[in-house]
C-alpha cells in the first residue's frame, strides 16, 4: 500500500481541479506517491495547480500529460517557475521550530511568494521567474546553519515516471 503525500491547501485550488499522482520511486522514495492537484486544459494536458513537496522536475503551472492510471507521465511545457523546498529539523525545543516557521512564513509573505506547508516543518515555495528570494534565502541559510535544516531546488533532478 503506497504512502500518499497530500496537499491540504493547494495554491491553485479551483472549481474544476483534477487529482493525479506522481510515483516517487524514481526519486528514491519507493512505495510513496505524491497527490498532485491539476487544472485541466483544453488540449488533453493539465497544468500543475499545487507546489510539489517531493516530486522533482515539476513546478506550479508546468503542463503535464497523464498515463491511463492517472499518474503524471511526462512534462510537456515548463512554466519557468521553480520550487524551493525546506525541511526543518525536529527540535527538543518546540518554540525554536515555531519561531523558525514564523520567520520563514513572514519572509515568504514579504517576498509576495506562494507556499504550501506539509505539516509544520516542510515547506514548498513557488519562485516565479522575476522573483528575487534573496532575503528568504538568508532566513533559510540561518536555519541550515543553526539547526541543520535541509533545503533544495525541485529542479535539481529532472522529472521521471520510471525507475
Give the C-alpha distances (Å, rounded to integers) separating 150 from 18, 31, 46, 131.
Answer: 31, 22, 30, 21
Kindly report the pTM of this predicted structure.
Answer: 0.91
- Say if 41 falls within a structural domain: yes
pLDDT of the residue at 68 = 92
**% the chain with pLDDT above 70:** 98
Q: What is the pLDDT of residues 51-66, one digit of tens each?
A: 999 999 999 999 999 9
Co-location of 60 and 123 in the same domain: no
Q: Block means of pLDDT (10 residues each) for the chain, length 163 residues?
A: 83 83 92 94 95 97 95 96 95 90 96 94 96 94 93 94 76
The reply to whether 103 and 148 lie within a common domain is yes
Instruction: Please report where in the chains the cell 493547494 appears, as a residue.
Output: 10
Q: Is 154 exposed, middle or buried (CB count within 10 Å of its CB: 0-12, 13-18, 19+)?
A: buried
**Both 50 and 89 in a single domain?**
no
Q: Is 106 strand, coil or helix?
A: helix
- Which residue range forms the structural domain that includes residue 11? 3-77
Whether 162 is covered by a domain: the verdict is no
Greatest pairwise CA separation for the chain in angstroms? 51
Give me the residues paired with residue 117 across strands.
123
Total structural domains within the chain: 2
In a domain? residue 30: yes
Give the domain-ending residue among 77, 104, 121: 77
Q: What share of the chain is helix, strand, coil (3-state, %, to 5)?
A: 25, 35, 45
Whether 22 and 61 map to the same domain: the answer is yes
Amino acid at each position: 500500500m503506497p504512502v500518499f503525500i497530500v496537499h491540504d491547501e493547494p495554491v491553485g485550488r479551483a472549481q474544476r481541479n483534477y487529482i493525479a499522482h506522481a510515483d516517487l520511486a524514481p526519486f528514491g522514495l519507493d512505495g510513496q506517491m505524491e497527490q498532485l492537484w491539476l487544472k485541466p486544459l483544453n488540449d488533453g494536458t493539465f497544468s500543475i495547480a499545487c507546489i510539489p513537496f517531493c516530486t522533482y522536475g515539476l513546478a506550479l503551472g508546468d503542463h503535464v500529460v497523464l498515463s491511463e492510471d492517472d499518474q503524471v507521465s511526462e512534462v510537456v511545457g515548463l512554466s519557468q517557475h521553480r520550487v524551493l523546498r525546506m525541511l526543518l529539523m525536529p527540535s527538543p525545543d518546540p518554540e525554536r521550530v515555531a519561531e523558525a516557521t514564523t520567520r520563514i512564513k513572514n519572509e515568504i509573505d514579504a517576498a509576495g511568494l506562494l507556499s504550501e506547508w506539509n505539516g509544520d516543518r516542510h515547506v514548498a515555495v513557488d519562485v516565479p521567474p522575476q522573483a528575487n528570494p534573496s532575503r528568504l534565502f538568508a532566513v533559510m541559510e540561518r536555519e541550515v546553519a543553526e539547526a541543520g535544516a535541509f533545503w533544495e531546488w525541485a529542479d535539481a533532478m529532472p522529472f521521471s515516471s520510471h525507475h
